[in-house]
Structure 1
Amino acid sequence: MGNGYKRKVKKSLIPTCNIMGVNIAAINMEWLVEYLEKNIADIKGDYICVSNVHTTVTSYEDVSYCEVQNGGLMAIPDGGPLSTVGRKRGYKNMARTTGPSLMGEIFSISAKNRYRHYFYGSKEETLKLLEKKLKKKYPGIQIVGMYSPPFRLLTEEEDKAAIDRINEAKPDFVWIGLGAPKQEKWMAAHQGKIDGLMLGVGAGFDYFAENIKRAPMWMQKSNLEWVYRLMQDPKRLFKRYWSTNTKFIWNAMIRRK
């Protein structure tokens, strides 16, 4: 991304399916967790995008954001429709890998692997709740720092101080909860500057702080989690879902972009 970052592991080893210009990782959760366990020491400084229909359609319409999605280590298929399209295009083992589910998988092996976690984003009260809930649910988890940035652009001095705080904490995983597209742009701008693997997980902080509930497992497995989220926040999400879902169906499924 123009910051001199040199990747230690080969992206060519990660299978991808190009959907509307975005190279979505053609993987499943088992593959991803094994990959992260094996390579975490070599992928610090890089970032993972947790991609869905909304981010994919946004990338299709915004070249610079598409470059951000493709510029990290990988873009994983958080949205069920992405993995569905991938399987139809021949990637039989491709399956949905959601941000919250990935967080849970990593948290559950953190004590054993001595992983260190840093959380950047969300509100101060959410971070406090998050820390409390995680320590209760995952005994031995190491939370080495949390920061709720102001809802504005940081000055150059403030940004440098934030980077220094993160790096001084020596995290393995740096979870970014700023929401799309802000979190992906933030990770791309900090690629090679942060000494930890950055993962943009959107509402993941709220899920684990138990501010909001995830859909029942049958809805998750049926690619209907978006319906559950829509019922929780109809005013904010209806227009987005109507617009992006129709564009995705037309371009990815009908036109095979």
Structure 2
Amino acid sequence: MNERIAAKDAAQERITLMGCDVDNLSMEETLGRIEGFIASGRPHQHVVVNVDKLVKASRDPELRRIINECALINADGMPVVWASRLLGKPLKERVAGVDLFEALMRRAGEKGWRVFLLGAKEEVVGKVAETYQRKYPRLVLAGWRNGYWKGEHEEAEVARQIRDSRADLLFVAISSPKKEQFLGKYQAEMKIPFAMGVGGTFDVAIGKVKRAPVWMQKSGLEWFYRFLQEPRRMFRRYFIDDMAFVWLFIKEAARGR
């Protein structure tokens, strides 16, 4: 399949949901697309959209532009999948960022892909590196670094460090919209075939944050489990900021009618 046909097929699989584009792909289809990105050697940026990201993008045109220009956009969150079905644009399934990260780390160990880990505190990212080197002995870690820096000069140094590592995969565990802005600004310069923001995945990967039971994940209640773990920190996000998602859904449904 040539690149023009591949691009056409990719466009046909992409839907627009509440102002943001989303690729209608299963987990296996997503992994196949990523493998093609790595084989090409050209830079590609990935993003997941969930309730929080859709709400932020509705208020931030620059964030929405960065999301929509990404080479691969997955839906991470059952409310987003349910909304797509109610709006007549059914997504195949949720592709959770934490599950995609795990699948890619395993595949990197199998295929010899070079991995760079960026984000979180030094002790956290270091423990992630240690955990996965033990889990997948053939995994090649091109480097890792914490997610804290000051000013544009230090930010540019971080981008150069990643470029010089010659990584195939870059996982960025810093908060939104900082990670989208960093990748949008430096991805072409870093020349990483696949760059992915992973949010709080590093904390889950080392057991610092416990993931919800599978039945809660499938029921769309993973957010509530997360709230129970850190109620003071997560209350505003889930019960105030994210309530705007309901209004976004109502407006889109009204436009559809």
Q: State the TM-score, normalized to the length of structure 1.
A: 0.88
Partner of 2:107: 109
Unaligned runs of 5+ in 2: none
Partner of 2:70: 72
1:2-49 Cα deviation digits (max 9, x unpaired): xxxxx9x73761422212100022222111011112332336422111
Return the offset for 1:236.
1.4
Return the offset for 1:212.
0.9
CA pair 181-93 structure 1, distance change in 2 beyond 3 A: closer
| Root-mean-square deviation (Å) | 2.1
2:81–2:91 CA contact under 8 A, matched in 1? no
Aligned residues: 248
Q: Please point out which of 181, 185, 188 is paired with 1:189.
A: 185
Return the offset for 1:191.
2.7
1:44–1:195 CA contact under 8 A, matched in 2? yes
Tell me the amino acid that sits aligned with residue 169 of structure 1: S
CA pair 240-198 structure 1, distance change in 2 beyond 3 A: same
**1:249 matched to 2:246:** yes
CA pair 160-92 structure 1, distance change in 2 beyond 3 A: closer
2: CA distance, partners of 1:167 / 1:72: 19
Determine helix, strand or coil for the equivalent of 1:171.
coil
Partner of 1:132: 130
Partner of 2:226: 229
Unaligned runs of 5+ in 1: 1-6
CA pair 148-130 structure 1, distance change in 2 beyond 3 A: same
Partner of 1:159: 155
Return the offset for 1:124.
0.4
1:148-185 Cα deviation digits (max 9, x unpaired): 143x54332x2332222212211111000111111111
Return the offset for 1:128.
1.5
Q: How does 1:48-63 map to 2 (within 5 A)?
A: 48-63=46-61
1: CA distance, partners of 2:76 / 2:114: 24
Tell me the amino acid that sits aligned with residue 95 of structure 1: E
Partner of 2:213: 216
CA pair 102-96 structure 1, distance change in 2 beyond 3 A: same
1:26–1:93 CA contact under 8 A, matched in 2? yes
Tell me the amino acid that sits aligned with residue 183 of structure 1: K
Tell me the amino acid that sits aligned with residue 111 of structure 2: N
Tell me the amino acid that sits aligned with residue 59 of structure 1: A
2: CA distance, partners of 1:109 / 1:186: 25
The answer to which structure has the higher helix fraction is: 2
Identity over the aligned pairs, expressed in percent?
A: 27
Tell me the amino acid that sits aligned with residue 182 of structure 1: K
CA pair 192-11 structure 1, distance change in 2 beyond 3 A: farther
1:86–1:94 CA contact under 8 A, matched in 2? no
1:125-163 Cα deviation digits (max 9, x unpaired): 00121112112222211111001143x54332x233222
Return the offset for 1:189.
1.1
Query: Which has the higher mean CA deviation after the structures are superposed, 213-222 or 32-41?
Result: 32-41
1:17–1:26 CA contact under 8 A, matched in 2? yes
1: CA distance, partners of 2:45 / 2:8: 12
**1:240 matched to 2:204:** no
Q: How does 1:190-209 map to 2 (within 5 A)?
A: 190-196=186-192, 197-209=194-206
Determine helix, strand or coil for the equivalent of 1:155.
helix
Tell me the amino acid that sits aligned with residue 226 of structure 1: W
Partner of 1:32: 30
